[in-house]
Structure 1
């Protein structure tokens, strides 16, 4: 499937997500680009402090890889911090192997007191081999970002990301995406 097809599926999933969470719920749309990758994510609050989200990362870092995810996180956003912790299902569709699994992780950002529009932090999710299917033995995605709030509803950011998986086949451990990214997040 081509990149446009992956994003058509992601857009459909985002529409279903927002229909399920209701028009009044807080949510976000996130798009980032890197030298070899593009990622789209959507999230919506289904109850106070509980967010349901999903996304797709397509990378040509070394070979073709598409990584889908759906997650349920407990979240908290204050003037000092923005954090979320919970579970994520990740599905790998790559030239090295295919499979999915349930993992844990989260994100955390702190707002700088001297520059309240700036926040720094990162995210990470790990899928251990005990809860995987297909060729996947284990996998992870992590990143660091510096964000700037251009308006109360629009953040721009720069960061670094790495995604990798270990497959139960001749390919073994493979880095699927690594590098810098620039992105924008719309909150509503």
Structure 2
């Protein structure tokens, strides 16, 4: 019964974030695939310079792992850069352990002056042990990407990602996903 309630709570959290992003002034939908993983994210601007988003990452890198997240970021996008910094709640549902926590991080991309459709950058979020629950001691997700704007509303990208967590049980520190990814982001 607790597992059913846990899955319902995660689905409700993700659904609320997706609905908020869809009803926002501006937003984005992002899907990426890797050899062992799929990730979907949605984000929306709730007021000037503030974005609410969420997503799910499912990976079979070594064992079964699903990471859910909801985030609130201060954002700025112009012709030179695309930056966001803020807080993220991440919920880990893995074969190694379950738990969640509040972390900090962000993303940053710079547009190349000689090729304005190309941007390079990455992202990172870290959840320290002081703000975790369940089996989770700490965790992180980091990545680097090269993006290309095919149209003003469609970016394609390639990148590398690593997600890991340290659990307060016999499993300890585990890499949950690592590898290349290819993705597309739609802006509206």
TM-score, normalised to structure 1, is 0.92
Q: Which residues in structure 2 correspond to 1:168-179 (within 5 Å)? A: 168-179=168-179
Q: Over residues 15-47 of structure 1, what are the superposed CA-to-partner deviations in whole Å (9 max), with x where a residue is unaligned?
A: 42235x44xx01000000000000000000000
Aligned to 1:17: 20
Whole-angstrom distance in 1 between the partners of 2:123 and 2:18: 24
Aligned length: 181
The structure 1 segments of at least 4 consecutive aligned residues displaced by more than 6 Å after TM superposition are: none
Distance across 2 between alignment mates of 1:18 and 1:98: 27
The whole-number CA distance in structure 2 between the counterparts of 1:174 and 1:142 is 14
Superposed CA deviations along residues 37-75 of structure 1, whole A, max 9, x for unmatched, are: 000000000000000000000000000000000000000
Partners of 2:113 and 2:76 lie apart in 1 by: 18
Match of 2:121 in 1: 121
**Does the CA contact (< 8 Å) of 2:17 and 2:52 recur in 1?**
no
Query: Is contact 2:71–2:87 with CA below 8 Å preserved after alignment?
Result: yes
Describe how 1:45-64 pairs up with structure 2 within 5 A.
45-64=45-64
Q: TM-score, normalised by structure 2?
A: 0.92
Look up the match of 2:41: 41
The CA RMSD over aligned residues, in Å, is 1.9
Secondary structure of the 2:96 match is coil
Equivalences for residues 98-177 of structure 1 within 5 A: 98-177=98-177
Distance 1:111 1:26 in 2: 20
Aligned-partner Cα distance in 2 for 1:69–1:31: 15
Structure 2 unpaired stretches of 5+: none
Contact 2:17 2:70 in 1 (8 A): no
